[in-house]
């Protein structure tokens, strides 16, 4: 996720609370079917895998994600891994709005 030209899927701007590994509170700034961009002051290394939790409407989404791009003291771009078909459909419906 190094730039707009690398984005192959539709993205939506959001302001969603997210929780990383059940303890780090952060804010998602955009979402796609593939991942999130998360505003956080916490430092992460590219390749780090963790659980991220957020809501789509009233539905909770818990998914493992890998840091694809890290900007220290700014945020991280994460790619979902092991996204269930059910959660994928929730995100897809949200994006199609």
pTM of the model: 0.87
Q: Strand pairing partners for 39?
A: 27, 75
- Phi, psi angle pair for 29, to nearest 5°: -105, -25
CATH of the domain at 65: 2.40.10.220
Per-residue b/e over 54-78, b at no fewer than 16 CB within 10 Å?
bebeeeebebebebbbbeeeebbbb
Write out the H or E segment, with its range, that includes residue 85.
helix 85-96
Share of the chain above pLDDT 70, in %: 92
Q: What is the pLDDT of residue 8?
A: 65
Q: Number of structural domains, the chain?
A: 1
Domain that holds residue 38: 4-96
Q: Is 4 exposed, middle or buried (0-12, 13-18, 19+ CB in 10 A)?
A: exposed
Comparing 9-13, 48-52, 91-95, which segment has the lowest mean pLDDT? 9-13
């Amino acid at each position: 996720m190094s730039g707009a030209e690398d984005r192959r899927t539709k993205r939506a701007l959001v302001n969603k609370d997210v929780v990383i590994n059940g303890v780090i509170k952060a804010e998602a700034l955009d979402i796609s079917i593939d991942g999130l961009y998360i505003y956080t002051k916490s430092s992460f290394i590219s390749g780090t895998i963790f659980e991220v939790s957020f809501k789509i409407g009233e539905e909770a989404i818990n998914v493992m994600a890998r840091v694809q791009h890290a900007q220290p003291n700014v945020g991280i771009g994460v790619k979902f891994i092991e996204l269930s078909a059910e959660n994928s459909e929730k995100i897809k419906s949200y994006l199609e709005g």
